[in-house]
Amino acid sequence: MAKEKRSIDDLTIWDDAKQMIKKAEADGVETVWDRLEDQTPHCKFCEGGLTCNKCVMGPCRIIAGGDKKQRGVCGADADLTVARNFGRFVAAGAASHSDHGRDLLDTLEAIGAGETSDYTIRDEAKLKRICEEAGLNVAGMDAKAMAEALAERFFEDYGCRRGELAFLARLPKQRTELWAKLGITPRSIDREVVEMMHRTHMGVDSDPVSLCLHAARVSLSDGWGGSMVATELSDIIFGTPEPRQATVNLGVIKEDQVNILVHGHSPIVSEMILAAVKDPELLAQAKAAGASGINLAGLCCTGNELLMRQGIPMAGNHLMTELALVTGAVEAVVVDYQCIMPSLVNVANCYHTKFFSTSDKAKFAGAEHVEFNYTNAKDQAKVVVARAVEAFKERDKNRVDIPGEPVSMLTGFSNEAILGALGGTPDPLLDAVKGGQVRGAVGIVGCNNPKLKHDYVHVNLAKELIKRDVLVLVTGCATVAMGKAGLLMPDAAEQAGPGLSAVCKSLGIPPVLHVGSCVDNARIIHLCAVLANALGVDIADLPVAASAPEWYSEKAAAIGLYAVSSGIYTHLGLPPNITGSEAITNLALGGLEGVVGAAFAVEPDPFKAADLIDARIKAKRKALGLSE
């Protein structure tokens, strides 16, 4: 079958991206879109979740519904095969967030034990608050002692704790009672992931529904466990975000400076690179090399971490990562882990760009590995920045093309900042919701996926929702889309409906609020719990929804599932690989509603998706007795 080549206008909505896709072609650089074309059409069995390679009696492919090959060699049918695959998919996503959280926890412990001087406590008040929330008596303790006590408490949440995760206390009672009834209360963070690996071994949990319920439990151990720990500890160690100005798009790369991009997820590395680019000695070296300075910019979620807390500019999201290097003006890309396409090493090699990996968990063939840990991070960061300065001398000016001008945006809307702006209580927001000025709120989160036109669904869905007086909170790669579209500036209130517009203008905030990275989706579910508790209702009763319009990652599946399991209706732009099982697809798209009070919707068209979400918000408002 001849494949139809997509035109460049079908790949992305952005001019900076289109220019760089053309340059990549001219420079002989292969991109994610080229490889997607090579891989299309995809295997139908895999797309439906109907392949299994969990043992060597197989691998098996299951033809659902036919009279032959309905079962794998062990006897697993389509429903079980899909459930096992999806269970492991979610477990991998949850493990990624939670293992990222563990690195913050190790760092907190090292601070407490006095084993690091590179990292400190920047928000002692929050440290104290979280300690108290976790039930620790920290009266009279100094920051170090509190750090040690809190680390110990959270290590229990990761390990063999017999009680409950500390943050489950944040939830409305209705929700925790429902989870207990369903047997999906997350016990410890690592345990649920390990148990999923166990359950999905041949001949263990062979009931598709039971597996799906455990997938929910795994996801909850991420949302109310690992991700929440990652977020709160990042705030404690690096500071709780406050609203600030920043800029976004490839135009943030500067022609006359040494450009360093940080990519990945953990602030542990990127914060140290930030400290190093301010080092007077390194700045002097940059000047001596002919640069006017050292410019740091972010990609993906570690970019979000620096953006939220430090206002560091954001060069791009997932699908912009290769294109950022194609500018030919990047001296170094420094990565930690997750969402770093292995292809980036090759793209870097096409230019003078140095590629540094920093985590023993994430080495990249062909890259230079400079390992960071809490005893050496500051020094290692200086090593990396010095190498970038050296690389500036090798830059080929004739191959440099930086498209676009930076776009301004506001960032830094932590829950503390949002509640602070409201005078310390959620009441003004609840009043606006009750009065119908703000009809509801939607978290638009997640990735890019080259199968969908880059950022098209993100931007159009957000515009449709704010028009309908729905406040949007944004995290992850969706942030860059909103920023580039100008939706993260207060003047975007002009594009909102009359109610939301008036609220935004009175508070001086944009109608789309940047609340962080992907682990920071924990901020969104926490805020939902705060609002539900204030109203005395369950999260499932709130006029809220979530959406991952352009998701690709296992982590996004975990996020989607913890949102739904927490009672939040969740839209996806494309389905996970579960469509080979009618039973599980129906459970995801409807049946879950009767179990956890929310379900998924799949819709690639942003305008239709906005209608679906709008209908949900209407129904929830009505059930609460709120008028439109």
Q: Which residues are near ligand XCC by CB under 6 A?
A: 265, 300-301, 318, 339, 446-447, 476-477, 518, 553, 555-556
Structure tokens at 209: 């529904």
Of 54-62, 269-277, 369-377, 461-469, the window that binds ligand SF4 (rule: CB under 6 A) is 54-62
Structure tokens at 92: 């991998």
15, 19, 25, 31 alpha-carbon torsion, rounded to 10°: -50
Phi first, then psi, for residue 317 (nearest 5°) are -100, -170
State the binding partner of 563 from ligand XCC, ligand SF4, none, CB within 5 to 8 A by kind: none
CB-nearer residue toward ligand XCC: 353 or 448: 448
Of 72-80, 214-222, 380-388, 551-559, the window that binds ligand SF4 (rule: CB under 6 A) is 72-80
CB-nearer residue toward ligand SF4: 81 or 565: 81
Structure tokens at 371: 């390992």
CB of 176 to ligand XCC, least distance (A): 27
CB of 584 to ligand SF4, least distance (A): 16
CA distance 183 to 368: 46
Query: What would the DSSP string read from start to end of 519-534?
Result: TTHHHHHHHHHHHHHH
Structure tokens at 443: 């978290």
CA distance 4 to 343: 24
Under rule CB under 6 A, residue 113 binds ligand SF4:
no
Per CB under 6 A, contacts with ligand SF4 among 525-584 are: none
State the binding partner of 447 from ligand XCC, ligand SF4, none, CB within 5 to 8 A by kind: ligand XCC
- Binding test (CB under 6 A) with ligand SF4, winner from 6, 8, 37, 58: 58
Give the H/E segment covering residue 482: helix 478-484
CB-nearer residue toward ligand XCC: 87 or 476: 476
State the binding partner of 58 from ligand SF4, ligand XCC, none, CB within 5 to 8 A by kind: ligand SF4
State the binding partner of 186 from ligand SF4, ligand XCC, none, CB within 5 to 8 A by kind: none
Give the H/E segment covering residue 51: strand 51-52
- For residues 24 and 323, the answer to whether their CB atoms sit within 8 Å is yes
Using alpha carbons, select from 318, 297, 384, 378 the residue that is nearest to residue 12: 318
Peptide bond into 41 cis (omega under 30): yes
CB-nearer residue toward ligand XCC: 208 or 576: 576
State the binding partner of 74 from ligand SF4, ligand XCC, none, CB within 5 to 8 A by kind: ligand SF4
- Binding test (CB under 6 A) with ligand SF4, winner from 17, 21, 50, 54: 54
Report the alpha-carbon angle 181-548-580, nearest 5: 70
Per CB under 6 A, contacts with ligand SF4 among 187-216 are: 202
Of 68-76, 319-327, 342-350, 602-610, the window that binds ligand SF4 (rule: CB under 6 A) is 68-76
Structure tokens at 268: 């542990």
* 536: CB partners within 8 A, 6+ apart: none
State the binding partner of 59 from ligand SF4, ligand XCC, none, CB within 5 to 8 A by kind: ligand SF4
Burial class (CB in 10 A: 0-12, 13-18, 19+), 43: exposed
- Contacts with ligand SF4 by CB under 6 A lie at 52-55, 57-60, 72-74, 76, 202
